[in-house]
């Protein structure tokens, strides 16, 4: 009797051990059956006149002891150059539809001051205007993406801004640009025709907005060497009717249609949740809400396909990211939040979604670049740090303008409180030199996952890798410890015949290079 009981206990413990510690597995097939390219503009950024994003972020006091060109902060510029950001969207955001561009040109001391009514009612002295923004883009080596004022502006105002920037000839606007120190045209091609016109950009109906778009668009002229890529103000989140009306009334008369979606950890705009103090429940809910991006991109794309089966109109997700409550003690109108490992995992998962929908998603812009929302960079006077999200864009820069490799994934689930989501996501591409890059995310905070990938028709022998992870989901980089979360070399991947085997750590992002 005693021996039987002992044997039963051993069997029970063995079963418990297997259930608790069994390695989870995922299987993926990666093929070359694609003629698609992952647009580099998916990795775009966003800089609004908001909080310390522009003033105190990019544009600093002339006495601040950091390297500068004029008042442009060069350590920030160099950090963005390293990750090859392709474009920068400016001046907003909601600010765009109260911004009048002529206030931001000419001698700075003569520029009128304005009140930023959207973000904290602070005074903006317009010292950072059109020429300063375009110099910033030139220093970074990125394309400017300007959002025009449809909400409180006029057709003439936007038309003259385009003429001022792009005409290589004789006119009052071109002469004014030359007088302000830039003889050659800037040739800005990306233009937003308004921003969030359904809300802060004018509270318009889609029918009214599409008429306004066509009117503004008619006077947004193409000048030699500067054919415009006009982007219509699109839906917020799951407003599928807005997309339907825009596609029906505008169709291919636009280069792109914008989509805005923010991941709110709690799902409640009134109390979004802390950036740093959260438990696994809040983490899980953040990922559930973030993964809604897959549904949004799929459904909006399906509507666009009805009117544009050749996919000539881009879906432009030009505001996305995690939006939490502001850091305690900071101005609530400045939207300053910290940036944790959780945010990095969300960023990588979202970029995987965009890459895997690169047939329709041609541009996206993280909100925002410096000191605002899910930023890449935080500054405090002369101090600067790179956030975990910055490191994701560093890991993923290899996918810019690379050939998209389709993936078929069978992922285990990450389960919490009776709910579940796929634990693994990934994207793959092949660059011009033939190197294959695979980026993988494990959202499960507890379990390593063995990923077995079969790469059909792809020749490779050598593997290198990099990983981003940390001990805790709440880990952050601070000015006292700016490198707590950083990229490290990754060696837990191997070639097994024609398969790739990866031991993907819990709560991690890995990018592999195969050649």
240 DSSP assignment: H
Q: How confident is the model at residue 456 (pLDDT cuts 50, 70, 90)?
A: confident
Planar angle of CA 193, 198, 203, nearest 5 degrees = 105
- Is 98 an active-site residue? no
Sequence spans of domains, the chain: 23-34+405-514, 40-401
pLDDT of residue 22: 54
pLDDT of residue 424: 98
Between 3 and 151, residue with greater pLDDT: 151
Rounded Cα distance, 92 and 293, in Å: 22
Which residue among 132, 143, 163, 196 is the active-site one? 196
pLDDT of residue 11: 34
The 10s digit of each residue's pLDDT in 366-390 is 999 999 999 999 999 999 999 999 9
What is the mean pLDDT of the segment spanning 143-161?
Answer: 98
Which residue among 135, 319, 327, 382 is the active-site one? 319
| pLDDT greater than 60 at residue 8 | no
| Sheet of 403-404, strand order | 403-404, 424-430, 436-442, 508-514, 463-468, 488-489
Between 21 and 313, residue with greater pLDDT: 313
The 10s digit of each residue's pLDDT in 188-231 is 999 999 999 999 999 999 999 999 999 999 999 999 999 999 99
Mean pLDDT of the chain: 95
The 10s digit of each residue's pLDDT in 30-55 is 999 899 999 999 999 999 999 999 99
What is the mean pLDDT of the segment spanning 317-334?
Answer: 97
Rounded Cα distance, 319 and 486, in Å: 25
pLDDT of residue 18: 34
- Is 196 an active-site residue? yes
Rounded Cα distance, 238 and 259, in Å: 9
Strands 403-404 and 383-386: unpaired
**Range of weakest confidence among 7-11, 64-68, 458-462, 465-469:** 7-11
| pLDDT greater than 70 at residue 3 | no
Question: How large a percentage of the chain has pLDDT more than 90?
Answer: 94
For residue 88, what are the contacts with CB-CB under 8 A and spacing of at least 6?
44, 45, 46, 47, 133, 136, 137, 140, 142, 143, 144, 145, 369
198 DSSP assignment: T
| pLDDT greater than 80 at residue 357 | yes
Query: Could you tell me the CA-to-CA distances from 157 to 95, 179, 209, 282 in Å, in that order?
Result: 16, 19, 17, 45
Q: How confident is the model at residue 12 (pLDDT cuts 50, 70, 90)?
A: very low
Q: Which helix (H) or strand (E) holds 464?
A: strand 463-468
pLDDT of residue 354: 98
Chain centre distance of CA 64: 29
What is the mean pLDDT of the segment spanning 306-312?
Answer: 98
pLDDT of residue 393: 98
pLDDT of residue 367: 98
CATH class belonging to 40-401? alpha beta
Q: What is the pTM of this model?
A: 0.94
pLDDT of residue 462: 95
The fold adopted by the segment(s) 23-34+405-514 is: Immunoglobulin-like (2.60.40)
pLDDT of residue 457: 85
| 365, 231 contact by CB (below 8 A) | no
């Amino acid at each position: 009797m005693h021996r039987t009981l002992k044997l039963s206990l051993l069997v029970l413990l063995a079963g418990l051990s297997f259930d608790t510690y069994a390695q989870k597995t995922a299987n993926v097939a990666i093929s070359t059956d694609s003629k698609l390219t992952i647009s580099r503009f998916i990795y775009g950024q966003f800089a609004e006149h908001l909080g310390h994003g522009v003033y105190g972020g990019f544009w600093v006091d002339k006495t601040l002891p950091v390297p500068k060109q004029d008042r442009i902060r060069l350590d920030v510029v160099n950090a963005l150059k390293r990750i090859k950001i392709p474009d920068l969207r400016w001046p907003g955001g909601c600010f765009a539809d109260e911004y009048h561009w002529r206030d931001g040109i000419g001698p700075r001391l003569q520029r009128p001051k304005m009140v930023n009514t959207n973000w904290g009612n602070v005074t903006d002295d317009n010292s950072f205007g059109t020429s300063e923004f375009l110099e910033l883009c030139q220093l970074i080596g990125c394309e400017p993406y300007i959002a025009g004022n449809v909400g409180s502006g006029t057709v003439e105002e936007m038309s003259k801004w385009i003429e001022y920037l792009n005409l290589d000839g004789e006119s009052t606007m071109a002469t004014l640009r030359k007088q302000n120190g830039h003889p050659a045209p800037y040739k800005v091609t990306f233009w937003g025709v308004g921003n969030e016109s359904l809300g802060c950009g004018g509270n318009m109906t889609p029918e009214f907005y599409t008429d306004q778009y066509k009117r503004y668009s008619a006077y947004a002229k193409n000048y030699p060497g500067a054919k415009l890529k006009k982007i219509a103000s699109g839906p917020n989140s799951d407003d599928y009717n807005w997309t339907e009306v825009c596609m029906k009334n505008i169709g291919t008369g636009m280069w792109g249609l914008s989509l805005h979606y923010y991941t709110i950890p709690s799902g409640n705009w009134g109390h979004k949740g802390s950036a740093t103090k959260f438990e696994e429940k809040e983490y899980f809910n953040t990922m559930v809400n973030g993964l809604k991006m897959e549904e949004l991109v799929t459904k909006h794309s399906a509507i666009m396909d009805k009117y544009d089966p050749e996919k000539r109109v881009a879906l432009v997700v030009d505001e996305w990211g995690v939006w939490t409550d502001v850091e305690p003690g900071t101005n609530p109108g400045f939207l300053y939040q910290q940036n944790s490992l959780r945010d990095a995992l969300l960023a990588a998962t979202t970029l995987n979604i965009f890459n895997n929908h690169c047939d329709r998603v041609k541009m996206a812009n993280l909100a925002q670049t410096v000191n605002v929302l899910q930023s890449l960079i935080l500054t405090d006077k002369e101090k600067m740090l790179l956030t975990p999200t910055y490191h994701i864009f560093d890991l993923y820069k290899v996918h810019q303008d690379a050939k998209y490799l389709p993936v078929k994934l069978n992922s285990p689930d990450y389960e919490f409180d009776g709910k579940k989501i796929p634990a693994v996501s990934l994207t793959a591409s092949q660059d011009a030199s033939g190197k294959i890059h695979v980026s993988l995310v494990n959202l499960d905070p507890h379990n390593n996952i063995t990923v077995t990938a079969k790469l059909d028709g792809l020749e490779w022998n050598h593997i290198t890798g990099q990983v981003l992870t940390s001990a805790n989901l709440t880990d952050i980089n601070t000015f006292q410890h700016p490198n707590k979360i950083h990229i490290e070399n990754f060696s837990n991947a191997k070639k097994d015949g024609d398969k790739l085997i990866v031991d993907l750590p819990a709560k991690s992002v890995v990018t592999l290079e195969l050649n």
